Amino acid sequence: MTSRASTISVVGSPALTDTGGWVWVVVGEGTEVSVEQLDPTTLAIHTERDLPVADTLYPSPYRPVLTATVGGPLWVAAGEDVWALNPSTGVTETEFDAENEISSMSTDPTGTLLYTGGETPGEYGMVVTEYDARTGRQLDRSDQQFAVTAGTVAATTGGVWVSYRSGMAGSAQELSSNDLNEIAPPINPNGPFDTFDQIMGVGSGVSAGVLWLTSLNTLSCADPSISAVRSSESTNVSDPIASGGLLYALSASGGVVVITPPTACFGG
């Protein structure tokens, strides 16, 4: 495991991705969001851009999130504000008010669909919203009524993996891209807790064709289509993103770590 320093202070989930030949991190600093463009080898900061937050349910500092789009923009959100940035330069191309406090973002492998997870003023639980990933036009939405707080979204082919807390525990499940109804994982016959249901919750993310699941001190990888777990190891990280056979993640102790995951994670 290799660690690299980064000026991460307040972040959301996910706050780390790679696109346009760069690793990108978003950081909440006061009433603004700082977008950091990092060298993919050294993780040194190449440039920084500040985005002012105008619409929000809660006071600063904000917990910004981001997601890359295949052949499209780098999407960034903080509070209710959403920005589409040029994936090579970080220049803002468009922005809009989502009218819900966004806690997570993800785009599907085709670059067609953008998903957000958040909470709406006056409503309880989590709302999952589906957008056109190129234009930001809203297509569908689903309320996750068992959620006690807004969780995370992780898009894959044909659906989106959603993680949220429902008390002291939490779970991850996949919603269909057609109607945002639950389609995976299958019911666990051995009891209420497994890789997809854990005390203190489960984080989920999809990259390099792999479903990455994080819980307290455990990182697991699975097939995103059939929910089959391929490997698990003990480590305390969050927001993993795979690229070039490596896994970039946020360490519980702060900063960015680079992990070489088991070959089995990639179906080998």
Residue ranges of the chain with pLDDT lower than 50?
1-9
Instruction: State the pLDDT at residue 239.
Output: 82
Between CA 66 and CA 61 the distance in angstroms is: 16
Q: What local confidence, expressed as pLDDT, does residue 4 receive?
A: 39
Nearest alpha-carbon partner for 246 in 12, 16, 14, 10: 16
Total Cβ atoms within 10 A of residue 252? 12
CA-closest candidate to residue 245, choices 217, 228, 227, 268: 268
What integer pLDDT is reported at residue 268 of this predicted model? 62
Q: What is the DSSP string of 194-250?
A: BTTEEET--EEEEETTEEEEEETTEEEEE-TTT--EEEEEE--EEEEEEETTEEEEE
Structural domains present in the chain = 2-190 (2.130.10.10)
pLDDT at 7: 41
